[in-house]
Structure 1
Amino acid sequence: MRDRSKPPGVGAVIGWTALAAIAPGAAHLRAGWRRTGLAILCAYTVLLLALLWVGLTSDLAALAGQLIASSGLTGVTVVASLALGAAWFALIVHSFVVMNPGTLPSTGQAVAGGVAGMLAVAVLLPFGLVGQYVAASQSAVDDIFSAPSTPRPASSGGGEDDPWAGRNRVNILLLGGDADTHREGVRTDSINVASIDVKTGSTVLLSLPRNLENVRFVPGSPMAKRFPDGFRLPANPDGSREDLLFAVWEYADSHPEIFGGRKGQGTKTLIDTVGYTLGLKIDWYALVNMWGFARLIDAIGGVMLTVPQDVVFGKYNEGLVKAGTRKLRGADAMWFARSRTNSDDYTRMGRQRCVLGALLSQSDPATVLSRFNQVALATKELLRTDIPRPMLEHLVPLALKVKNAKVTSVQFVPPLINTGYPDWSKIRTVTAKALRTSAVTRRPLSATATPSATPKATTIRTPRPGTSTSAKPDPTAPKGITEGCG
């Protein structure tokens, strides 16, 4: 039964309609629609309690992984979000109508109607954005994770419900490629393996130099039969070499005759070769297009870096990244990471590590959400991987663990190893030691660093000539990913 008391004024109509946006049913109760108002309010309360129960009892990271991994669930989420948004829009409109705005003066009707309309659109927008974000992520995931399902990591005693089959670590080969429209093949300029503790997220980043010589291949493999004493080809007329680690993928792709005529063997060859070099079983790989990476940096608005000295780049040294602390856009950040002008591969590897560390620390959830569409579009152009989509259900929660865990790195560069005559046994020994240290330490990043609201600049610090320390650091000890980067 409706209340036939004195109609509310303009302020009351606007106020009760606005209250209905956060407490559905309030306007109906005020207008005398008691049964309807109580029914709406009860339904809203049940919904809030259900969401609270899910938040308190569920692993939200796992739910996010399931959402991304399942295309069907993603579609349901988009439809449900849009339907709920439409229902909320209709609720605001009806709340305004039951407040009987027709009794207001014409000016009051116009003001109250305009405010109610804006309010209805405002409550619809978040649901529309959720649907858009989910659809954009679905499109990106469909493009990137299109590889057929592959076996899970080799079992070492885990139960059937253990996605890692009892293993303590998962190893992912991270490659930075220079593929471009005017260049044939893929040269892997950046070669890293992320070995991740599946329980804690503690990660060791193992970096191999692109100019590693005399690369050894898995015994018995076609490449090992072709190069029994290591990967060695005649030098180019200018003295440069094409038989380094960075060229393994391209060489294998260019010589299918080595593999009995089978084409496209570069990926598997490099995965097996890196795994054999480090003494690890590589589970999957992810190839990052370096210029797609630049677009990702642009998508999050750039990264704060401290460039210790001018970095020159370009075929004719026409480019320059000036020294100083500031936010770099994608192209400058990539040239800072990639330029070898007046430098060497080892310094460049250090700069690459600093850029990765800066991106990891500065890509906070708020920034990603505010630029979600740009990030999703850049990611589609960025990655190529053999990670099967069903594994995303488990990898997304693991990635969130890595974000808050301790990340250390080992770079196999001089003086640790001689890239011309590598000590393969030492490489495997240092790798094993780094993984043992990571497993024992298992300290979250927050235990050693206090987060700051302002992104911290990242730089490479070079000791002054003539300085010394009382104790020499252990060159085999893993370092924090941003150690020496400011």
Structure 2
Amino acid sequence: MSVASPPRRAGTAPAAPRSSAQWNPYSLRTPDTSSDAVMTRRGWWLVVLNFLLPGAPQSLAGHRRLGRIGIASTLVLWTLLVLVLGAALISWQATVGILANWFVLLVAQFVLLAYAVLWVVLTIDTLRLVRLVKVRGRARVGIAALAVGLLVVSSGSAVYASQVAGSARDTIASVFGGGPSVPPSDGYYNFLLLGADSGSGRTHMLFDSISVVSVNADSGAVTITGIPRDMRNVPFSDGPMKDRYPNGHEGHADASCGWDNKINQLNTEVGLCLDGEAMYPEAAALGSTPGIEATRDAAEGVLGVEIPYFVFVDMDGFAALIDALGGVDITVKERLPKGALHKNADGSLSGITGWIEAGRQHMDGDTAQWYARSRYTTSDYDRMKRQRQLQAAILDQFTPATVLTRFQDISKAGSEIVHTDIPASMLSYLADLAVKAKEQEMSTIELTQENGIDPDDPDFTVVHELVDATLHPATPSPSPGDGDQ
């Protein structure tokens, strides 16, 4: 039994089958699939659109829901980026504070990784929509190669950004403390900077480098005061060490414990001879150690300033940080030996592996480390000056371009060799001070004979006056008649 066709209205022609000539050659969704020229042109456009606006190929020629997800995700990320850049222009401090938050970094890491995966999915789907079998022979390879290349650039950038966010989160967690921030003291933030070697067998290391970095809380001006590691008879600020040595560390030594009354050996004394954990029970909770706390009390007593925070640098891995920064530029005044040196009985040196020649040099980590350590051919005070010179060179190398291009190497090296009790909540404020500090010349104070201070028998009243005069220079009084016209 046949089914009758529906009646056709008078005056209308029967519908003809759709021919290839009726396909819209400019349509991405309904192209003329029989034309390899049309399909080739369409393929190039879809791949480029996938890079410029992920999800657009799906919205125009494929699964619209997937396309909407891609476009919405892209617009959200671009909106967030614009907001971050706008916030940075309005308040650099607040932006760094937000981006330094571990939860924000964790969310950013997850979102960027998810977006990278989404881009891979969209690229694969775009190649499906291209229908390479309909494309001209030579163009097939070109379109596929372009899609893969753009995917590496786009998705790879998102993966790298995700890794940067993860590295920043891990570095902040491993390097910085979680204690409260404190207001500046007498207009300055003072940081105790300690350098020591934690090589094998050195459970109670001597602090090879001791200095205090004073940062003006308003201008960001930096003053570094170098304390000779062999300074004797040091006084202490209020605390357990002052209770034990109310008149200073004069004359106290114990050869059986391997310590003298030099300031750099306080770590050994507190760690081996005294019950440091009982003296400083809160040290571990604050991310510090009894030896560091005793040295901090001594540095406060020596300089007459309050030092709320410390930064410890492990010199055993110091070269890695220099290499991560791409090296440092140093002007060497005199030829210096490299190597694990030993001074023989006749005064000669053994263990020399090379020389650091005089003149302007771009040093890698190993050379810079020996430049800071070398002391047998010069005095200990010369070594202190070189250490201060190297510190300044490192600060100069911390430019935005260097940090951005070498971030992961810097963060990895920093997390391995740097430890501090500076709270992460202060990062935004310190970042602002660092920007200001870059615009000013750093000043130094060396507590040596050149400034009339004998480290073996120092006059700490003179030290206090020198430090105070440097940090708080007297304002010149106006001369009579100034301002008169």
TM tier, smaller:
0.7 to 0.9
How far apart, CA to CA, are the structure 1 residues paired with 2:332 and 2:41?
Answer: 57
Q: Does the 8 Å CA contact 1:65/1:393 hold for their aligned counterparts?
A: yes
1:479 paired residue number: none
Deviation, 1:360, is 1.5
2:266 paired residue number: 248
Deviation, 1:338, is 1.2
Question: How many residues are treated as equivalent by the alignment?
Answer: 425
2:116 paired residue number: 85
Alignment of 1:5-154 (within 5 A): 8=38, 10=40, 13-14=43-44, 16-24=46-54, 27=57, 44=74, 48-58=78-88, 59-68=91-100, 70-145=101-176, 147=177, 149-153=178-182
| TM-score, with structure 2 as normaliser | 0.76
Partner SS for 2:310: strand
Of 123-132 and 7-16, deviating more is 7-16
How far apart, CA to CA, are the structure 2 residues paired with 1:279 and 1:166?
Answer: 11
Partner SS for 2:313: strand
The change in CA–CA distance for 1:87 and 1:229 in structure 2 (over 3 A counts) is closer
Q: Does the 8 Å CA contact 2:61/2:129 hold for their aligned counterparts?
A: yes
Alignment of 1:361-400 (within 5 A): 361-400=396-435
Deviation, 1:424, is 1.1
The change in CA–CA distance for 1:266 and 1:33 in structure 2 (over 3 A counts) is closer
Extract structure 1 runs of 4+ deviating beyond 6 A: 32-43, 258-263
Partner SS for 1:217: coil
Partner SS for 1:114: helix
Deviation, 1:423, is 2.1
1:294 and 2:328 are equivalent in the alignment: no
Structure 1, residues 277-297: CA drift from partner, whole Å, max 9, x if none? 212111110111112212211
Structure 1, residues 351-372: CA drift from partner, whole Å, max 9, x if none? 1112112222123333333333
Structure 1, residues 345-389: CA drift from partner, whole Å, max 9, x if none? 111111111211222212333333333333222212211222234
Larger radius of gyration: 2
How far apart, CA to CA, are the structure 1 residues paired with 2:296 and 2:459?
Answer: 20
Q: Does the 8 Å CA contact 1:93/1:117 hold for their aligned counterparts?
A: no
* 1:424 pairs with one of 451, 460, 467: 460
How far apart, CA to CA, are the structure 2 residues paired with 1:55 and 1:10?
Answer: 39
Deviation, 1:274, is 0.7
Identity rate of aligned residues, in percent? 25
Unaligned runs of 5+ in 2: 1-26, 282-288, 343-349, 477-485
How far apart, CA to CA, are the structure 2 residues paired with 1:184 and 1:166?
Answer: 33
* 2:192 pairs with one of 173, 179, 200: 173
Partner SS for 1:392: helix
2:365 paired residue number: 330
* 2:234 pairs with one of 206, 215, 221: 215
Deviation, 1:343, is 0.8
Q: Does the 8 Å CA contact 2:327/2:362 hold for their aligned counterparts?
A: yes
1:402 and 2:437 are equivalent in the alignment: yes
1:412 and 2:447 are equivalent in the alignment: yes
1:203 paired residue number: 222
Unaligned runs of 5+ in 1: 154-163, 441-486
| TM-score, with structure 1 as normaliser | 0.76
1:271 paired residue number: 296
CA RMSD of aligned residues (A): 3.6
The change in CA–CA distance for 1:165 and 1:437 in structure 2 (over 3 A counts) is closer
Of 275-284 and 318-327, deviating more is 318-327
Structure 1, residues 225-252: CA drift from partner, whole Å, max 9, x if none? 4462533246979xx9832121122222
Paired AA for residue 44 in structure 2: I
The change in CA–CA distance for 1:115 and 1:152 in structure 2 (over 3 A counts) is closer
Paired AA for residue 347 in structure 1: D
2:3 paired residue number: none
Q: Does the 8 Å CA contact 2:70/2:118 hold for their aligned counterparts?
A: no
How far apart, CA to CA, are the structure 1 residues paired with 2:248 and 2:102?
Answer: 48
How far apart, CA to CA, are the structure 2 residues paired with 1:379 and 1:200?
Answer: 26
The change in CA–CA distance for 1:438 and 1:248 in structure 2 (over 3 A counts) is farther
Deviation, 1:425, is 1.6
The change in CA–CA distance for 1:165 and 1:328 in structure 2 (over 3 A counts) is closer
2:24 paired residue number: none
Paired AA for residue 319 in structure 1: T
* 2:210 pairs with one of 180, 191, 206: 191
How far apart, CA to CA, are the structure 2 residues paired with 1:137 and 1:36?
Answer: 32
Deviation, 1:207, is 1.5
How far apart, CA to CA, are the structure 2 residues paired with 1:426 and 1:186?
Answer: 30
Paired AA for residue 336 in structure 2: V
